[in-house]
């Protein structure tokens, strides 16, 4: 076995790649189902109101239309925690775009036509949809996502800040942003007697199974959710109303039903990143050593539910300062419910904190890389716990070296190439490294083949391939002898794809079950697999409970080089470079894709993405990709992602920290810091707008 090349660390192309590029991979609405009907949602056209009349006559008169569901006739549901899933049950309307009816027909076209013919009348009330820093409804939620303290205070911030010789006090704003995965939310649902069989695009088949079971009053084992391929999620494919609507329709018309949201409907109902207003105050000595830091974050949620984005948690474990405070305030507005979007909280939080650090570096006349190094804590400054590993400084140094940072002149607005001003910027980056409980099974056949099964889900990240590599190494066999199955609630239960926990959590269960198989083969069966094969199933509850207390985080350093046209204010990013310390990198190819994907999304956030809200109509003014701009390949000249060899023994058997989100953390600040360096204009309000860079001239 000594000659076997380890699979972990190799740049394996993803296992599902060939099927995807050939169009052979089936997505959730592509499974052939006989006698399938199609559903088309009807969104509310009022913001805050109550349906007083549902007139379905014209819709039902359309040929091919089977039914129109609304709160009046839809099958009854049992609430399942998330009010966004309790659809078509009540006449109340909480926001514009909320689904209030559903047309079902034998063809997609007839369903869509019928949806347009449903007439609804409403009583309406004045609405309140705009977040401001002095909104009268701001309150302190009991905790912030996922279950973190709302406010924290160590030392005495007010006194520390008052005494600080150098101070930065600035307010940063980020707009609403929309996840926009390529594939919309999509479901094919079949009732087979009292069993529910669902093909659904989501980030957690187990979560969808549990949700549907509660909503429809079924034992979970009678709900099967199959999620073989998913065209991206970025957080918005945790369980959403789409699959519930399809299941309601299928029950009502007693036929299988397909439902895929349109891009425009997604803007209304699948969640978005809340806008934030963030005030940062930093107190420091003249050399830039922080003595006090405070992060006050404001965000919004809907009237339906409290979603308290964890914006100010970003800095809690990051930079040293004896006096520190973080607070979160929330306003409940007549708006769609915000939800998870890649690096929730951390991503907008990093924009504010890493911008303020740059402002402090400017104020103190200290190099911004050096400033961050000077504020390196020995232990977690809020928890007091040791880090399982902390390589922020190493990332900054390695990045500075690769980027060519050393000779940087700090003076803003002095580098000129033709009609452009040039600038460079840096930001730190941190993201929690968590592992969640999962289980997995494995089977060794007498023919030397292995089958590993886990209800993990590959939302396009390459998770399936990474798990397969981990399994091969633990089994000590070449990967081509291993088969892996994921994305089916018939397989051993596993955590959902979120919070960059997938490979850490699932990889733990996979590694454990493969070791168990190895032990059985080697120790019980004397090294060969018996005729009946060997089977094992494990879960990681005890392992995760037994974890020692550490602060576990991935770290990174982001560098950006920008070019700003002095006359038009156009910003172009010539170069992005990120260095990350994220434990072991399982697959060099898919990891790089995750990291540069995150960085590109961060650039998109810096320069383009903005959900524009129209307070009069109470709706997004832009809700398609022609008006909500997302960066494309042509927008980045050169993008590089590197990682340090990090061997952290306190994580999980695979030694991984997760890489799905850290790439987007800090990127926007690196870019706006570079814009400052180029132009002398500090952008505190995203996205960067051409006209604002020109100041008085436009």
Partner 1 sequence: MEFLQPSTWDDAMAAKAAQPEAVPIAGGTDVMVELNFDRRRPPALLDLTRVAELTQWGTDGPLLRVGAGVTSRRLIAELGGRLPGLAMASRTVGSPQIRNRGTVGGNLGSASPAGDAHPPLLASDALVELASVRGVRRVPVAEFFTGPKRSVLAPDELVAAFLVAPAGGPQQFAKVGTRNAMVIAVCSFALALHPAQRRVGTGIGSAAPTPRRATAAEDFLAAALPWDTRGRLPDSTAREFGALVAAAAAPIDDVRGTAAYRRHALSVLAGRTLRWAWEALCD
| Distance of closest approach, residue 420 Cβ to partner 1, in angstroms | 12
Q: Is 596 in the site for partner 1 (CB under 8 A)?
A: no
Q: Minimal distance in Å, beta carbon 565 to partner 1?
A: 8
Task: Classify 633 as helix, strand or coil.
Answer: helix
DSSP three-state, residue 39: strand
Instruction: Report, in Å, the least distance between residue 449 CB and partner 1.
Output: 43
CB 606 to partner 1: min, Å: 11
> 585 forms bridges with which residues in the sheet?
none
Copy the structure tokens of residue 184: 């919309």
The angle subtended at Cα 302 by Cα 104 and Cα 296, nearest 5°, is 150
Dist CA 503 CA 587 (whole Å) = 11
Integer CA distances (angstroms), 240 to 86, 252, 321, 444, in order: 10, 19, 41, 37
Q: Which stretch binds partner 1 (CB under 8 A): 59-67, 284-292, 336-344, 562-570?
A: 562-570
Q: 138 or 690, CB closer to partner 1?
A: 690
The answer to whether 108 contacts partner 1 (rule: CB under 8 A) is: no
Instruction: Please report whether residue 21 would count as binding partner 1 according to CB under 8 A.
Output: no
Tokens in use for 574? Answer: 């010539």
Q: Taking the complex as a whole, how short is the minimal distance between the CB of residue 613 and partner 1, in angstroms? A: 12
CA 459 centroid distance within chain: 11
Active site (annotated) includes residue 34:
no
- The one-character DSSP state at 686 is S
| 160 three-state secondary structure | helix
Span interacting with partner 1, options 17-25, 482-490, 539-547, 625-633, rule CB under 8 A: 625-633
Q: With binding defined as CB under 8 A, does residue 357 bind partner 1?
A: no
Number of residues that bind partner 1 (CB under 8 A): 26
DSSP state of 338: P
Q: How many CB atoms lie within 10 A of CB 627?
A: 11
According to the binding rule CB under 8 A, does residue 621 interact with partner 1? Answer: yes
In three-state secondary structure terms, 153 is strand
Nearer to partner 1, 567 or 647 (CB): 567
Q: Which of 152, 608, 640, 642 is the binder for partner 1 (CB under 8 A)?
A: 608
Residue 107 binds partner 1, judged by CB under 8 A = no
List binders of partner 1 among 516-535 (CB under 8 A): none
Please report which residue ranges of 366-423 form alpha helices under DSSP H. 368-374, 392-403
- Dihedral of CA 47/53/54/55: which sign? negative
Instruction: Identify which of 447, 289, 416, 306 has the alpha carbon closest to the alpha carbon of residue 361.
Output: 289
* Tokens of residue 402, six digits: 């690769």
* Stretch touching partner 1 by CB under 8 A, among 58-66, 177-185, 342-350, 630-638: 630-638
> H or E segment at 348?
helix 346-364
**Count of beta carbons in the 10 Å neighbourhood of residue 177:** 27
Joined together, the tokens standing for residue 345 give: 């909280």
Q: Which residue, 1 or 626, is less far from partner 1 as judged by CB?
A: 626
Q: Which residues contact 393 (CB under 8 A, 6 or more apart)?
A: 372, 373, 376
Within 418-437, which residues bind partner 1 (CB under 8 A)?
Answer: 419
Which one, of 554, 494, 547, 497, lies nearest residue 653 by Cα? 547
Residue of 113, 183, 609, 661 marked active site = 661
Site for partner 1 contains 626 (CB under 8 A):
yes
Query: Smallest distance, Å, CB 603 to partner 1?
Result: 10
Residues 678-697 contacting partner 1, CB under 8 A:
690-691, 694, 697
CB of 631 to partner 1, least distance (A): 6
Tell me if 570 contacts partner 1 by CB under 8 A: yes
Q: State the nearest-atom distance from the C-beta of 691 to partner 1, in Å.
A: 4
Of the pair 305, 572, the CB lying nearest partner 1 is at 572
Q: What minimum distance in Å lies between the beta carbon of 336 and partner 1?
A: 19
Find the part of the chain contacting partner 1 (CB under 8 A) among 10-18, 175-183, 533-541, 565-573.
565-573
Q: Cβ 571 to partner 1, closest distance in Å?
A: 8
Using the minimum distance from each CB to partner 1, give the nearer residue, 522 or 567: 567
- Residue 109 near partner 1 by CB under 8 A: no
User: How many helices (H) and strands (E) would you count in the chain?
Assistant: 16, 26
627 lies in the site for partner 1, by CB under 8 A: yes
Nearest to 145 by CA among 348, 378, 362, 446: 348
Copy the structure tokens of residue 282. Answer: 């930093």
Give whichever of 456 and 631 is closer to partner 1, judged by the CB atom: 631
111 binds partner 1 (CB under 8 A): no
Alpha-carbon torsion, ordered 357, 362, 366, 371, to 10 deg? 0
- The tokens of 670 are what? 């690196």
**272 CB burial (10 A radius; 0-12, 13-18, 19+):** buried
User: Among residues 18, 116, 404, 478, which is the contact residue for partner 1, using CB under 8 A?
Assistant: 116
* Contact status: 634 vs partner 1 (CB under 8 A): yes
CB-CB contact of 197 with 244 (8 Å): no
Q: Does 63 bind partner 1 (CB under 8 A)?
A: no
DSSP 239: S
Q: Which of 370, 635, 640, 685 binds partner 1 (CB under 8 A)?
A: 635
Selected from 5, 73, 107, 568, the binder of partner 1 by CB under 8 A is 568
**Binding to partner 1 by residue 574, rule CB under 8 A?**
no
Residue span binding partner 1 (CB under 8 A) among the ranges 126-134, 496-504, 568-576, 643-651: 568-576
18, burial (CB in 10 Å: exposed 0-12, middle 13-18, buried 19+): exposed
Among 397, 535, 629, 684, the residue binding partner 1 under the rule CB under 8 A is 629
| Residues annotated as catalytic (active site), given as ranges | 661
In the complex, the residues that contact partner 1 under the rule CB under 8 A are 116, 264, 419, 567-570, 572, 607-608, 612, 621-622, 624, 626-627, 629, 631-632, 634-635, 690-691, 694, 697-698
């Amino acid at each position: 076995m000594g000659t076997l090349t380890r699979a972990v660390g190799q740049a394996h192309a993803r296992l599902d790649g060939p099927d995807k590029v050939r169009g052979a991979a089936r997505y959730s609405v592509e499974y052939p189902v006989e006698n399938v009907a199609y559903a088309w949602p009807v969104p509310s056209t009022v913001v805050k109101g109550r349906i007083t009349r549902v007139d379905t006559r014209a819709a039902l008169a359309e040929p091919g239309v089977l039914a129109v569901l609304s709160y009046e006739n839809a099958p009854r549901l049992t609430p399942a925690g998330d009010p966004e899933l309790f659809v078509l049950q009540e006449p109340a309307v909480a926001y514009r775009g909320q689904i209030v009816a559903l047309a079902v027909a034998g063809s997609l076209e007839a369903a869509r036509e019928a949806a347009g013919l449903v007439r609804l009348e409403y009583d309406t009330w004045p609405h309140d949809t705009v977040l401001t820093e002095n909104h009268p409804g701001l309150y302190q939620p009991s905790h912030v996502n996922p279950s973190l303290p709302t406010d924290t205070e160590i030392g005495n911030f007010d006194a520390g800040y008052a005494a600080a010789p150098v101070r930065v006090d600035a307010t940063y704003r980020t707009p609403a942003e929309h996840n926009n995965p390529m594939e919309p939310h999509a479901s094919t649902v079949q009732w087979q007697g009292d069993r529910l069989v669902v093909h659904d695009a989501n980030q957690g088949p187990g979560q969808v199974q549990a949700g549907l079971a509660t909503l429809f009053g079924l034992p979970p084992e009678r709900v099967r959710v199959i999620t073989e391929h998913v065209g991206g999620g970025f957080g918005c494919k945790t369980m959403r109303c789409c699959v519930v609507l399809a299941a309601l329709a299928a029950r009502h018309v007693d036929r299988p039903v397909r439902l895929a949201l349109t891009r425009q409907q997604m803007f209304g109902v699948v969640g978005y990143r809340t806008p934030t207003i963030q005030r940062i105050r930093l107190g420091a000595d003249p050399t830039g050593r922080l003595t006090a830091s405070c992060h006050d974050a404001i965000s919004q949620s809907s009237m339906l539910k409290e979603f308290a984005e964890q914006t100010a948690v970003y800095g809690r474990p990051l930079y040293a300062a004896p006096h520190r405070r973080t607070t979160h305030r929330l306003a409940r507005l007549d708006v769609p419910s915000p939800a998870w979007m890649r690096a929730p909280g951390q991503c907008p939080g990093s924009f504010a904190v890493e911008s303020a650090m740059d402002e402090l570096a400017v104020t103190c006349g200290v190099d911004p890389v050096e400033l961050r190094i000077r504020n390196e804590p020995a232990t977690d400054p809020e928890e007091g716990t040791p880090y399982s590993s902390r390589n922020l400084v190493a990332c900054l140094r390695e990045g500075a070296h690769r980027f060519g940072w050393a000779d940087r002149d700090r003076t803003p607005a002095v580098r000129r190439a033709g009609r452009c001003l040039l600038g460079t910027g840096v930001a730190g980056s941190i993201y929690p490294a968590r592992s969640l409980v999962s289980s997995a099974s494995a089977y060794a056949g007498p023919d030397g083949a292995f089958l590993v099964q886990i209800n993990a889900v590959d939302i396009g990240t390459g998770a399936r391939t990474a798990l397969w590599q981990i399994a091969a190494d633990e089994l000590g066999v070449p990967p081509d002898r291993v088969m892996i199955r994921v994305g089916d609630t018939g397989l051993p239960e596993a955590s959902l794809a979120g919070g960059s926990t997938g490979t850490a959590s699932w990889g733990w269960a996979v590694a454990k079950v493969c070791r168990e198989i190895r032990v059985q083969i080697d120790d019980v069966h004397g090294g060969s697999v018996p005729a009946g094969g060997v089977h094992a199933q494990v879960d990681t509850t005890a392992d995760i409970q037994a974890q020692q207390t550490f602060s576990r985080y991935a770290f990174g350093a982001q560098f950006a080089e920008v070019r700003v046209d002095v006359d038009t204010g156009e910003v172009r990013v010539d170069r992005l470079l990120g260095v990350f310390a994220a434990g072991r990198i399982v697959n060099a190819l898919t990891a790089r894709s995750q990291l540069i994907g995150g960085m590109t999304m961060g650039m998109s956030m810096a320069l383009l993405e903005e959900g524009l809200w129209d307070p009069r109509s109470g709706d997004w003014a832009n809700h398609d990709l022609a008006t909500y701009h997302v960066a494309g390949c042509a927008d980045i000249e050169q993008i590089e992602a590197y990682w340090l060899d990090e061997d952290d023994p306190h994580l999980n058997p695979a030694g991984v920290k997760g890489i799905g989100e850290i790439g987007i953390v800090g990127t926007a600040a690196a870019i706006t810091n570079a814009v400052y360096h180029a132009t002398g204009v500090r952008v505190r309000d995203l996205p960067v707008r051409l006209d604002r860079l020109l100041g008085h001239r436009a």
